Structure formats: structure tokens, C-alpha cells
Structure 1
Amino acid sequence: MSTEMNRICFYIITFFIMFSGSVLNGQSSLEITTEISDDKSDLEKLQIFLNLAEETKYVDLENAISYARQAVQLANTTQSEEGRAKATEALGDLFQMNNNFQPAINYYLISAKLYNSLGNTKKLAEVYGKLGRLSYIDNYNLESAMQYYEKALSLGIELNDQDLIANTYNRIGGIFFRQKNYEEAHYYYKEALSIWERSGSEKGMAIALNNIGEIYRMQEKYDSALNYYEQSQSLNEKINYKILMATTLENIGLIKSEKGKKEEAFVYFAKAYKIIEEINNKEKKVELLLTMAGQHNRYDNFDEALKYYKTAYAIATSSSHWPHIAEAAQGLANIYEKTGNYKDSYSYFKISSSYGDSIDQRQKNNRITELQSRFKSDLQEKELQIAKNEIVLFENERKLNTLKLNL
């Protein structure tokens, strides 16, 4: 099976919601400044900065991080615990998108502590879900990830929040999928699907259906996979869920290619790419570019493959996404070797190796073992281990602002 076929294309919900706000509609920085400064209270400004961070994160991640930092400062100034919780959670989201995982974990831990003190159980559970995903992505610690998911699930059950429970099942399925334990992954995806069907969540159903389709695709049961993809796509179109619409189109294209229908495959890839361009999601854009480059390489269309690999490499480098840089560099090395350009092939092979070795070493240093049961009988509660440098700076800033207010 080809490299791009082995890449995980399923979509796991991450609580990231696209907004179509002022920045995406071309509002100027002057207009934004006016909006923020025009007779707004600090709490109103805080929310505006959070909205700006959300609106710009797929377009300009560095600016989004800057907006979220300003929201934290305003939260400290106003002594708003809820504002601090929201702003630190937003920074966790943004640093995760930037593949800077340790700060992301630290901010999520701060946010979790704040939500816990506020008694906001639903938000606490959502942050636990994010910590679970990061525990696995950052250091491949399956046990730690599952412990966070157990906490999220326990809170979901306590709240009788069916969507939260389904989301957690879906995330757990994603971990088993990454481990190629398709039987367990299928179980959890089906559980999530059942809950979303009962609650009538069309978005949730679309996600679960696509993920089940991915299991069948990886097992080379292409007709079954297509059946689930088509069900997912029907819902995506109904609710205009564009990011998953693009993912499902990409997956269908891969199956068409495996069935020898090259022209149809690229029609689906083109449709997916058009959607990704519309929503301007850089990470998904790189994934799709890599898929298309790999497919062109498969059919010996080296000029097209080179074009797509170069574009993917440029975007991945600008966003410091290690796995994508390694994959794009490896693709370029292969193309240059096939076309007799051994100098450039060697250069990109070294780049790929340097990034790939970092990733492989992390995997080797953090061996994971298969779970012997779906869940541990008792939820193991641990104290949140918040990085001292982050929390000390955070508390010092709050004390400083408190002192200023008292003067």
C-alpha cells in the first residue's frame, strides 16, 4: 500500500469551530483597532481579542497568538477568572496548531485548573479531552492519554452530556486507529455514532461515518468504505460542514485511485482542494497537497508531483510542522532521484532524515503498550502537574495587576 494510503486521513473532532468574522471578511487593522478601543469595557475588549484569535488562526497563526496573549493580559487586569480560563485555553489551541506542544499542554493545564475552580464541569471535560489528544501526539503516551479521556468521559456521564460522551468515544477510537487496532477503533466509532444518532447530531454522525469508512479503507474493503463516505458526505453537504466535506472527498479519491480510476480520483482531489482554498485551512491544505503529489508520483507524473511537493514543503516549513516537512522533503528526494537530479535528492533526503529521526527517536523513547481492557475500572485522579515557569509568571502578573488596582 502506498505512503499516502497509509497516512491517516480521518477527521477527529477537536472542538475547533470555524468563524466567518471581520478579519476573514477583509476588515483592516485600523477598523479592528477602532472596534476594540471605541468605548469598550475591558471585558468587552477581552472577548473581542478572543474572537479575533479564533477568526485569524487559520490565516495568520502568529497574529492569532498575539490576540490571545492580549486577552490574557486583559483577563489579569480585570481579575476575570472566566476570562483567564478562556484565554489560556485559546492559547493552548493555538500552540497546538503551531505544533509547539509543551506550551500548549501548560496552557491547557492552567485552563483546566481555572475551570475546575469555577465549577465549569463541561469546559473542564473538554480541556481534558484536548490534553488526552496532546498526551498521545506529543510523546506517544497512550496510558496518559487514556487517563485524560477517562476523566472527560466520567464528567460527561456525570453531566449526562451525550455529545461530550460521544466526542470522547470518538477520540479514543482515534487513538486505536493510529495504533492500527481497527477492531477497537471500530467499536468506539460505532459507540459514538449510536449516541449521535440518538441525539440527532448530524455533524457528529458525519464525523463517525467518515471515520468508520476510514477503517474499511485501511482494511482495503473499498465498497464498504465508499458506503460510509457517501453517508457522511450527504450529511456534510446538508449542514455545509466544509472541512469534513473536503476530507471525505479526498478519501473517496484515494479509493477511486486504488480501483484504477485515475481520472475520477483527481476530480475528487480537485473538488477537495477547492474547498480547502475557500476555508483557508493551511494544515489540511498541506495534507491534500501531499496526497496529490503522492498520487502523481504513483502514476509517474513527476513534474506535477514535484510542483505539489514543493508547495507542500514551503507551507509546512513556514508553519514548522515537522511531520509534514519530513514527508514533503522525502517526496522531493524521491522525485529528484527518479529524474536523475542526485544533488537535490541528497539535499532533501538529509532534510527528511533530520526531521524524521527526531520523530522516530521520540517514538522509540516512549514505547507504548496495547491496553488490555477498554477502560480501567477506577478513574485515577492525579494532581495537575503545571509547569512551574508558566504558572509562576501567570500568578505574578495577577498579583501585580491586583496591586495596581489597590493603589
Structure 2
Amino acid sequence: MTLPIFPTCKYNLRYLIIIALVSLNYQFSLAQDERRTFASAYHDKSAYASIKGLLDTALSHDDSYAAGIYYQQIGDVFFKEGVLPQALEYYFKANSSFLARTFTVEYADNLNKIGKVYYKTSRLNSAMQTFRKAVVVSDKVNYPRGTAEADKYIAQIFEKMGHLDSAHYYLELALRAYQKLHNKQQVAFTYSKIGGIYEDELKFSEALPYFFKALDLYNDSKSLEGKAALLNNIGDVYRKMYNYKTALTYTKQAEQLALQLKDFQQISSAHRDLAKTFEMTGHFDSAYYYSEKARSAYAKSFNIDTDKKLNLLQTLFDVEQKNKEISRLEKDQFNNRVFIFLIVLVGLLLAISGYSVMSKQRLKSKNESIIHENIRENIELELNNNQLQETNLKAQLELQSKELSSHVLLIIQKNQFLEVLKNKVISIIKDDKRDSRRELKHLIATIDENTNQDKNWEDFRAIYENVHHQFFDKLIDYEESLTATDLRFLALLKMNLQGAELATMLGISQNSLRTVRYRVKKKLKLTEQDNLSQFIQQF
């Protein structure tokens, strides 16, 4: 292969070439990771517009999963053209949509895409965290391709950080995964990255076998994607091994393939390496020639990328403006319809209200007189009902009070009778007539039992409850330890009976009555100064 070598110039040209190479190397390094091959079916402006339409349809149907897919695809369009902030924005929106359905393969892919944006923008810590999360999600959903993709980029992050051993480890993980998946393209890429690590470690003899394994896979698959960069890497290794002839051969192959693909970035890279090789062989005129060509190719690549970014951003702006205009027109149309409707409605309402006012005026006086008359009659009827109800209640209360008084009087009379009878029997017992003494004692016991356990108590209690509602329930709620005798005592006390009457009703002596009064006050937690009669009136 004939290479363009120009006659030797003066040595001061050497310094100019070195300055040009240093400048070019600096500019090229800034864009080294700006673009990588991206396989998709999108076509920049038309792709964004068409996907945006599909996205709007999915959102209008509340289809979060489809919306997530379209968010991700729009992010891919921006990523492909290097508009990374917008790409990241749409990837984040896709994440929110995918998370609505727990972990999925699409979510794992999206995490890898977010990690790539972080990697491209040198946010290595964020990239590392995102790729590690992608590994976890990919393992959970049994998605080895997602795991391999994340491992591959984790390795590249370690490489940038200078941790070459860790980078090599993760590249081996990715390599084994891609081999199981029979993905020759990614196996070749991983081989080339492992070779690159050995090259960084200056282990050129160990790097070349991996580069040639990758080259064999590219040749077998007849794939040109990534092949130009690989050929350039091989030429670069041979140059570093001072095998300039072989280095020029592979670098020229890289140049020809890049020209065929019209990949100006790879063209610039090949020309840059050719310039370095010629400079090292002392052909400074050729080195200067290729350094200028590298600068020109890089400028063209930069301009093309810039134009694509601007066109895409212009499309984004145009679509947003179009959507805003459509929204404005739809809003105006809606407002016009609402305005017309309101005019018609107001007219109808005015007509109806006019007729209604006239009708209401005619009926108003009549209705008011009828209403006032009905109100007056209702008030009179309610007053009569209240008076009648009050009269009935008074009559019932008076009747029940009479019944209660009669019942109490009956009990008092009965107990007095029993007391007289008891005294007579006692006087009989004191006689010496021993033959009737046992029967008389039995009679006294029967009288005592009849006196102390009033079998008419339930009737008395029912009548009492009608006059004093829930009296016994309130007492039990206040103090649960009150006995039946206590309740009888308190009920009679509420009727304002005197001591003698209370003792007669309960069938006990005055001393026993004082004992009952003391015990009840103690249960009710009253002091000696507290008046039990006044206290019981609150129940």
C-alpha cells in the first residue's frame, strides 16, 4: 500500500506539528465518549414527531406502560443525537411509568439507559449506583442481557477511575454472559475493551490477542459497526510497540473503513493516529498533513453533530409550539361554544324569569294569606295538643301518686296489724300454757318473715318507677353495692316519710333504721354532715 510521504522539511516544522498534535489530542479527548454506535429504527426529527404523537395517545388513554415505552424511545432519540439532558428527562419519565407495574425487563433496560447518560456526562458515582441497581432488577426478572449490559458499563467506570483489576473482572462477567447469549457483536466489543485494559497496563502482547479475537468476530459477522475503532486500536498498539509498518497498515484500514462509513469521528481518529505514527518515524510533513486532516474531520463531525442536535431541538420546540397552539385553539373553540351557550341560556332564563315573576306576583298574595292561615291553625292546634298532653300527664302522675300513696298506706297498715298481732302472740307465749307454745312460735316466725320480706315489693317498685323514672337504675349505676333493703329505704326516703313510718314500712326498729341509714350513707360515700334526704332527691 502506497502512503503519501512528502519531502523532508526544515526541523522547525517539527515543533509546529507537535503543537498541532497536542491541540488536536485535547480537542479529540473531549469528544471521545460523546458518541457510540446506536442501533435503532428512529430517524431524528420524524422519529421524535411520530413517537410524540403515539405518546400523547397513550397518555390520553391512561396507558402508563405504553407511555413508558414511548418516553424511553424519545429518550433514545435524544441520546443518539447527544442531547443528553433531554434524554435523561424522558428516561426518568419512563421510569415512573414502568414502576407502576413493579419490576420489568423494560425497567431494567431503562436503568441502563439512565446509567449511560450519567456515564457520558462523567457523573461516575451516579452512573455506578444506577448500573448496580440495574443488575439487581435484571437478576430479579431473569434478564441476563440487562445484567451483562450493566456489568460492561461498571467495568468502563472502573477503567475511568483507574481500577483496572475491577474493570477486568466485570468485563469477564459481561463476556461470559454475552457468550451464553450468542451475541457476537457484544462479545467482540467486550474483547476489544479487555484488550484496551491490557493496553492501558502497557501489556501490548496480551492486548493484541483480544483485539484479534474481536476482529475475527467482526469479520465473521460482516458487521462494520465498531470495526473501524478496533482497527485503529490495533494500529495504536503496534505503534506503541514501535512496529510502525504494521501500525500504519491497520490504521490505514481503519481510515478506509471510516471513509466508507462516512464516520467523521473515526476518520479523525485514524488521521490523528497516522499523524502520530509519521511523527514518530520522522516524516513530519506527512504528520502535519494528517494532523490537519484529523482536525478537519473532527470539525466536520462536530458540525454534523451540532446540526443534528439543533435540528432535533428545533423539532422539539416546533412540536411543543404546535401543541400549545392546538391547545390554545381548542380552548378558544371551547370558550366560544361556552359563550354562545351562555348567551342562549341567559335569554331563556330571562324569558322564563319574566313569566315566572308575573305568575308569582299574582299568586304571592293568595299564597301568603293561605300560609299565614295555615301557620295560625297549626300553632293553635299545637297549643291545644300541648295543653291536652300536659293535662293527661298531670292526671297520670296524680293517679300514680295516689296509687303509690295507697300502696304505701296499705303496707303501713298491714305491718301495724302484724305488729299488734305479734305483740298479742308474745303475751300468749308468756303464759304457762306449754301445749300451744310451739305453734305460737311458728306463727311469730311466719309473721316476722311476712314483715321483713314484703311480697308486694315488685308491685310497689313498678308503681314507683312510673312516678320517679329509672330511680333504681340510677342508684345502681351510682353505687353497685346497694342491696334490695337499701333500695327500699332510699325509695321511701325520697317520698319524705318520717322515721317511724320508715321503720314500720321496712319492718324494723328505730335503732335498726339508724343502722341502715348509717350503712347507706357510707356506701354512698357521704359524710356525717351530708343530708341523705336532700342527696336522694337528685335521683
* TM class, shorter-length: 0.5 to 0.7
| Cα deviation 1:186-240 (Å, max 9, x = unaligned) | 0111111110011111111111111111111121211111211122122122221
Match of 2:72 in 1: 129
Query: C-alpha deviations, 1:133-179, integer Å up to 9, x for none?
Result: 442453x4332121221222223223446211111111111112122
1:135 maps to a residue whose letter is: F
Provide the C-alpha distance between the structure 2 equivalents of 1:221 and 1:246, rounded to a whole number of angstroms: 22
Q: How many residues align?
A: 287
Q: Which moved more, 1:252-261 or 1:180-189?
A: 252-261
Q: Residue 385 of structure 1 aligns to which amino acid in structure 2?
A: V
Which residue in 2 is equivalent to 1:393?
none
Amino acid at match of 2:74: L
Does 1:234 find its partner at 2:168?
no
Structure 1 residues 279-333: Cα deviation after superposition (integer angstroms, max 9, x where no partner):
2221211121122122222222211221122111111112221211111121122
Partner of 2:248: 306
Aligned match of 2:441:
none
Correspondence 1:159-174 to 2 at 5 A:
159-160=101-102, 162-174=104-116
What amino acid is aligned across from residue 131 of structure 1 in structure 2?
A: I
Match of 2:124 in 1: 182
Percent identical across equivalent pairs? Answer: 22
Over 3 Å counting, the alpha-carbon distance change for 1:9 and 1:163 in structure 2 is: farther
In 1, Cα distance between equivalents of 2:277 and 2:73? 37
Any idea what the Cα deviations from partners look like across 1:246-265, whole Å, max 9, x if unmatched? Answer: 12111111222333432221
Aligned counterparts of 1:283 and 1:188: Cα–Cα separation in 2: 27
| Secondary structure in 2 matching 1:340 | coil
CA contact (8 A) 1:11 1:210 kept: no
- Equivalent residue in structure 2 for 1:247, among 189, 192, 199: 189
Quote the residue 2:319 is aligned against. Answer: 385
Q: Answer yes or no: is 1:341 the counterpart of 2:275.
A: no
Q: What are the Cα deviations for residues 351-370 of structure 1, in whole angstroms up to 9, with x where unaligned?
A: 21123234557899999xxx
Q: 5+ residue gaps in structure 1?
A: 17-88, 93-102, 368-381, 389-407
Give secondary structure in 1 for the equivalent of 2:225.
helix
Judging changes above 3 Å, is the alpha-carbon distance between structure 1 residues 5 and 349 closer, same or farther for their aligned structure 2 residues?
Answer: closer
> Relative CO higher for 1 or 2, CA cutoff 8 Å, sep ≥ 6?
1
2:50 matched to which residue of 1? 110
Measured at CA, do residues 255 and 143 of structure 1 come closer, stay the same or move farther in structure 2, by a change above 3 Å? closer
- Of residues 278, 300, 304, the one that matches 2:220 is 278
Please give the alpha-carbon distance, in whole angstroms, between the structure 2 residues aligned to 1:344 and 1:123.
55
Measure the CA separation in 2 of the matches of 1:351 and 1:305: 18
After superposing the two structures, state which structure 1 stretch, 143-152 or 107-116, moved more. Answer: 107-116
1:288 counterpart = 2:222: no
2:267 corresponds in structure 1 to 325
Partner residue of 2:139? 197
Summarize the Cα distance change of 1:10–1:136 in structure 2 as closer, same or farther, 3 Å threshold.
closer
Name the TM-score, length of structure 1 as normaliser: 0.61
1:250 aligned partner, one-letter code:
S
Structure 2 contact 98–104 (Cα < 8 Å) conserved:
yes
CA offsets, 1:56-76, max 9 Å, x none?
xxxxxxxxxxxxxxxxxxxxx
The two structures, once aligned, show a CA RMSD in angstroms of: 3.5
**Greater Rg over alpha carbons, structure:** 2
AA aligned opposite 1:164: E
Q: Structure 1 pair 364/114, CA: closer, same or farther in 2 (3 Å)?
A: closer
Alpha-carbon separation, structure 2, partners of 1:10 and 1:213 = 18
The structure in which a higher percent of residues are helix is: 2
Q: Which shifted more, 235-244 or 105-114?
A: 105-114
User: 2 CA distance for matches of 1:299 and 1:350?
Assistant: 25
| Consecutive unaligned residues in structure 2, runs of 5 or more | 1-24, 310-315, 323-539
Rounded to whole Å, the distance in 2 between the matches of 1:10 and 1:323 is 9
C-alpha spacing 1:342/1:260, structure 2 compared with 1 (3 Å): closer
Q: Choose which of 201, 224, 231 in structure 2 pairs with 1:259.
A: 201
Secondary structure in structure 2 of the residue aligned to 1:283: coil
Are the structure 2 counterparts of residues 280 and 159 from structure 1 closer, same or farther at C-alpha, using a change threshold of 3 Å? farther
Q: Which amino acid aligns with 1:188?
A: T
Tell me the TM-score normalized by structure 2: 0.47
The change in CA–CA distance for 1:271 and 1:9 in structure 2 (over 3 A counts) is farther
Q: Retained in 1: the 8 A contact 2:34–2:120?
A: no
- Evaluate the alpha carbon distance shift between residue 161 and residue 271 of structure 1 in structure 2; reply closer, same or farther with a 3 A threshold: same
Give, as a single letter, the amino acid of the residue that structure 2 aligns with 1:166: A
